Amino acid sequence: MATTPVIKAEKREEFGKGASRRLRAAGRVPGVIYSAGEENIHFHVDILEITALVRNDGTNAILELEVEGEKHLAIVKHVDQNVLTLNIDHIDLLGVKRGEKVNVEVPVIYEGEAAPDAVVLQELDLVEIEVDALKIPDEIVVSIEGKEIGDQILAGDLPLPEGAELLTDPEYLVINVTFQQVDEEIEAAAEEAEEGGAEAGAESTEEAAEGEE
């Protein structure tokens, strides 16, 4: 993993919606860091710095938050975004210790080519794992190379990082290799609708012609 980024923050002295609006107007994002057995720290950080971190590393991003000269190792746990501007309105961090394991959800992606005519369906996009806080993977990659119709990849088949433990049910279906399914009833209904529309159009034309006579 790359060097843990350090983001400088300042303690929040004012609270409430009005105070938060003033911070955001000044280009700052209010937040809080929760740590087991310790008092919560309310802070505010530069919006550009924290936005870049979340954009680059996602919601499992690890950082060192420096508040009044003291650094706190933490993981991003929740981000509130403005529904209109998509700017970060508030951020929650979870304080962690080096060597400590955390529970996180990690995206699953697949690579490779399945057999010809096979359709690959991804049934599960995220899996939950327990892993060292400093070794959280950006994603879990699984190969579908050469998979045949009927093959399946379950959560328990996924390649996990060393030392990580799967928390998602290992029997959950992640990748399903199947065939192109055509719903005959839907196709028949569509054909009937088309025929019905054509007939209605013909009748309207005939009625119009009769009216002109």
Q: Which residues fall within 8 angstroms of residue 141, CB to CB, at 6 or more apart?
A: 108, 109, 110, 111, 159
3-state class (DSSP) for residue 16: coil
Please report the pLDDT score of residue 22 as a whole number.
86
Predicted local distance difference test score (pLDDT) of residue 130: 94
Q: What is the pLDDT along the chain (213 residues), one digit of tens a residue?
A: 457 889 899 898 888 888 888 888 888 999 999 887 778 889 999 999 999 988 888 778 889 999 888 889 999 988 888 888 888 889 999 988 888 888 999 999 999 999 888 899 999 999 999 999 888 888 999 999 989 999 999 999 999 988 999 999 999 999 999 987 655 555 666 677 776 655 555 555 555 555 555
Query: What one-character DSSP code corresponds to residue 160?
Result: P
Q: Which residues contact 160 (CB under 8 A, 6 or more apart)?
A: 129, 131, 140, 166
The rounded distance, in Å, linking the Cα atoms of 56 and 52 is: 6
pLDDT at 213: 53
- CA gap 159, 65 in Å, rounded: 32
d(CA 97, CA 89): 26
The SS3 call for residue 199 is helix
Contact indicator for 198, 204 with CB cutoff of 8 Å = no
Q: What is the pLDDT of residue 207?
A: 54
Q: Structural domains in the chain?
A: 6-96 (2.40.240.10), 103-193 (2.170.120.20)
Q: What is the pTM of this model?
A: 0.68
Q: What is the pLDDT of residue 82?
A: 81
Residue 201: the pLDDT is: 56
Q: Tokens standing for 194? A: 């088309």
